[in-house]
Chains A and B, each alone.
Chain A
Amino acid sequence: MGITLRLASWIVIYIYNTFRPMNQIPDIIRTIPLNYYLYFSTALFIIGVIGVLTRRNAIIIFMCVELMLNAVNLLLTAIASYRADTNGQVFVFFIMAVAAAEVCVGLAIIVMTYRNTRSTDVQLLNNLKW
């Protein structure tokens, strides 16, 4: 249900963006200095890393991964607009598509582990060793 909603919203945003005047966006982004974007996305990324390293709940680890991805996305968009290079923005779309695919698989795995272990604790998944 959530995925359907997300996809639908993306389509709406896509259609909206298609008919919006594109040339205005870099100007809006440039109202904030680039350094702030850097600090912000670095902070987001580090939060993500720390979350991944410290939390045991698989869903939260998953969310932290998404956080890291989005930190990178933000950085890409900001730098792309500051350098007036659309490649970075295009790349963001790829990352989003991959993230969506990854979410599909990842959540399916989490559901399966929950069915088997009655838990989402990743520490319990230590049978695959030696």
Chain B
Amino acid sequence: MPRINQEMALLCLLIPLLPFLGFLLNGLGNRKISKGLVGFIGCSTVLVSFLISIYLFLDFKANGSQPYTLDYYNWISAGSLRIGFSFLIDQLTLLMLLMVTGIGFLIHLYSAGYMSHDEGFGKFFSFLNLFMFSMLLLVMGSNYVMMFVGWEGVGLCSYLLIGFWNKNTNYNNAAKKAFIMNRIGDLGFLLGIFLIFITFGSVSYPQVFAEASKMTGLDTPVMIAITMFLFIGAMGKSAQIPLFTWLPDAMAGPTPVSALIHAATMVTAGVYMVIRSNVLFILAPTTLEVIAIIGAATALLAATIGLVQNDIKKVLAYSTVSQLGYMFLALGVMAFSSSMFHVLMHAFFKALLFLGAGSVIHAMSNEQDMRRMGGLRKALPVTFITFLIGTLAISGIPPFAGFFSKDELLAHVFEHNKILWGVGVLASFMTAFYMFRALFLTFFGKFRGTEEQKHHLHESPAVMTIPLIVLAILSTIGGFLGIPEVFGAEHVLGNYLEPLYTYARGINPAAFETGAISHEMEFILMAVSVGVAILAIIIAYFLYIKKEEVPAEENAQLAPAHNLLYHKYYIDELYNALIVRPVMWLSGVLHRFVDEVIVDGIVNGAGKIVILSGRTLRYAQSGAIGFYLLVMVCSIALILFLNFFIG
């Protein structure tokens, strides 16, 4: 094939390399180059990556959608292990590329406005570019090790950006929490990679999947182990129970970071990984069952917590966890395309919501508490309208993006398991409720902030509103990528992603059967999900607009159930008591006993011996030259003697 040539390889290499260049320029030129130039470098590198991705996508479609691998060099080779630095360009990669670079560019653009008053502007952009580089490596790599490198890279950038305002100890603690929780997941991922190598003798996707497709029998122990380990990795990165508590805390970072890393791209890496490894997961139905249950539980748990949060970013954070739960629920019922669809739509509307929240926070002079907001729709018209679109989209109101993806997802779940579907619908109800609660508290009613804030209220500059408008348009029309069959249209995204499942379909054809539920049933399901969303909106309307209720102040007495939710089920406290404290205690013991007594004892002991022997032996240095000479002669004689008779 002539099109996979040197130029093509270079072009693909440029996609991650350009943001890396931006990272180097902005990082090394920190404080030396002007803010305008920093913003230009940061945005333009990502924009060019985006344009290249579009070109690759069009080229890929024009040439019959044949996946291809680009090998650059042999990166690691040891024994039978061969890991190449190579990219796999296929449907999934291209979709992720477009999403990551496209939304990444919008958020970079937005950051240029949002962070313009921050002294760490250059640092911020260099970290953001480094994140883009790692994320692109993650989605483009053609083997698990490259994915792991990108995986760790995004984890690092997440840590750096959560603790971006590193003068605040709480923010640093949040960053550390995110990093450590991710490490727990990463260990699982790493073990999964080892097991993959042991089982299949390779870590490169094409080889592993080809080998896996030859396996006979579902649910072999080794497949369950591999997929469970991989899922533990996904749990950490994509904030699933039990490793989800870092994501709400990660909101300590600047808002564009929350939008880019903790909503749109990085946290969906886990979903990407599972979809990428769909062959392996298909071989282990037990793991899929676990994934579905954990996904549903996460969706519900996070949604309930989201109901009572007062920090606008915390609401969005719990909503992200909840939506990620949906995605895993879909993965668990083998609706990989639906999950990817939801990833994409979620990236649109959640990035939009976060950026909208950022715009509000910007206007309110860094106030994040919704109890201090209210009535902002007149002061921030663009933000209000775009935020409204985002809210409608996430609530699943047709014809916005969230409706199509969530509906499709829930239909697949219904097919698979009615109870999980019920949980999903319940979570969907709560989602609509808390999102409209946030919307009403922020934009409707009377202004509850200080006079100074009221005076300062202003719509954000164009550089911030343009990304909002673009994302709002995408959130509105994005859903048409996946119109359900019932409406007689083509499911563009589903068909596009179809070739990814060739092997998986061979293993378990039943999982990919469509049309198991009748059209009437599908309409009923749609009606139910739209119905609960509208019900939730009406309840929120009565509570927060008619009754003008404002959430209770910090130290107010709450009802027990409310209190439980407000304190996030005391999960953080539970983890503290069960894990953090024992570990701290253990490290205290190790410090006091092993380190201070044993290690320090050996080191100090060696020093003491030297001092002691020196103190004694120095008396041999008498100053009498004759004595020295005698000793010298005797010693030489002794050496010669020993040399003759022993040596």
Binding site for B on A (CB under 8 A): 49, 52-53, 56, 122-123, 125-130
Write the chain B residue with the least CB distance to A128: B623
> What are the residues of chain B within 8 A of A127 when measuring CB–CB?
623
Contact A53 B624 (CB under 8 A): no
Expressed in whole angstroms, the Cα–Cα distance for A130 and B626 within the complex equals 16
Given contact pairs A130-B618, A130-B619, A122 touches B633 in the complex (Cβ within 8 A): no
Contact B618 A53 (CB under 8 A): no
From the candidates B619, B621, B626, B630, name the one contacting A122 in the complex (CB within 8 A). Answer: B626
> What are the residues of chain B within 8 A of A130 when measuring CB–CB?
618-619, 621, 623
Expressed in whole angstroms, the Cα–Cα distance for A52 and B629 within the complex equals 8
Contact B621 A129 (CB under 8 A): yes
From the candidates B619, B622, B630, name the one contacting A53 in the complex (CB within 8 A). Answer: B630
Write the chain B residue with the least CB distance to A125: B625
The secondary-structure label for the interface of chain B is: helix
> What are the residues of chain A within 8 A of B624 when measuring CB–CB?
123, 126
> What are the residues of chain B within 8 A of A125 when measuring CB–CB?
623, 625
Contact B629 A126 (CB under 8 A): no
> What are the residues of chain A within 8 A of B626 when measuring CB–CB?
53, 56, 122-123
A-B complex: 6 closest residue pairs judged by Cβ atoms: A129-B623, A126-B623, A122-B625, A129-B621, A126-B624, A129-B622
Contact B623 A53 (CB under 8 A): no
Expressed in whole angstroms, the Cα–Cα distance for A124 and B624 within the complex equals 8
Binding site for A on B (CB under 8 A): 618-619, 621-626, 629-630, 633
Write the chain B residue with the least CB distance to A127: B623
A-B contact pairs, 25 of them (CB 8 A): A49-B633, A52-B629, A52-B633, A53-B629, A53-B630, A53-B633, A56-B626, A122-B625, A122-B626, A123-B624, A123-B625, A125-B625, A126-B622, A126-B623, A126-B624, A126-B625, A127-B623, A128-B623, A129-B621, A129-B622, A129-B623, A130-B618, A130-B619, A130-B621, A130-B623
> What are the residues of chain A within 8 A of B625 when measuring CB–CB?
122-123, 125-126
> What are the residues of chain B within 8 A of A128 when measuring CB–CB?
623
Write the chain A residue with the least CB distance to B634: A53
Contacts A53-B626, A126-B623, A126-B624 known; list 17 others, CB within 8 Å: A49-B633, A52-B629, A52-B633, A53-B633, A123-B624, A123-B625, A123-B626, A125-B623, A126-B622, A126-B625, A127-B623, A128-B623, A129-B622, A129-B623, A130-B618, A130-B621, A130-B623
Expressed in whole angstroms, the Cα–Cα distance for A49 and B80 within the complex equals 68
The secondary-structure label for the interface of chain A is: loop
Expressed in whole angstroms, the Cα–Cα distance for A129 and B621 within the complex equals 5
Expressed in whole angstroms, the Cα–Cα distance for A128 and B621 within the complex equals 8
Expressed in whole angstroms, the Cα–Cα distance for A53 and B636 within the complex equals 14
Q: How far is the CB of A31 from chain B (nearest CB, A)?
A: 30
Write the chain A residue with the least CB distance to B630: A53
Q: How far is the CB of A82 from chain B (nearest CB, A)?
A: 22
> What are the residues of chain A within 8 A of B623 when measuring CB–CB?
125-130
> What are the residues of chain B within 8 A of A129 when measuring CB–CB?
621-623
Expressed in whole angstroms, the Cα–Cα distance for A95 and B320 within the complex equals 86
> What are the residues of chain A within 8 A of B621 when measuring CB–CB?
129-130
Expressed in whole angstroms, the Cα–Cα distance for A116 and B622 within the complex equals 21
Q: How far is the CB of A105 from chain B (nearest CB, A)?
A: 16
Which among B618, B621, B623 has the highest number of chain A CB atoms within 10 Å? B623
> What are the residues of chain A within 8 A of B622 when measuring CB–CB?
126, 129
> What are the residues of chain B within 8 A of A56 when measuring CB–CB?
626
Q: How far is the CB of B638 from chain A (nearest CB, A)?
A: 14
Q: How far is the CB of B597 from chain A (nearest CB, A)?
A: 35
Expressed in whole angstroms, the Cα–Cα distance for A77 and B621 within the complex equals 38
Q: How far is the CB of B634 from chain A (nearest CB, A)?
A: 10
Expressed in whole angstroms, the Cα–Cα distance for A88 and B28 within the complex equals 63
> What are the residues of chain B within 8 A of A52 when measuring CB–CB?
629, 633
Expressed in whole angstroms, the Cα–Cα distance for A128 and B619 within the complex equals 12
Expressed in whole angstroms, the Cα–Cα distance for A56 and B622 within the complex equals 16
> What are the residues of chain B within 8 A of A126 when measuring CB–CB?
622-625
Write the chain A residue with the least CB distance to B625: A122
Expressed in whole angstroms, the Cα–Cα distance for A97 and B524 within the complex equals 110
> What are the residues of chain B within 8 A of A122 when measuring CB–CB?
625-626
> What are the residues of chain A within 8 A of B618 when measuring CB–CB?
130
> What are the residues of chain A within 8 A of B619 when measuring CB–CB?
130
> What are the residues of chain B within 8 A of A49 when measuring CB–CB?
633
Write the chain A residue with the least CB distance to B636: A49
Q: How far is the CB of B29 from chain A (nearest CB, A)?
A: 59
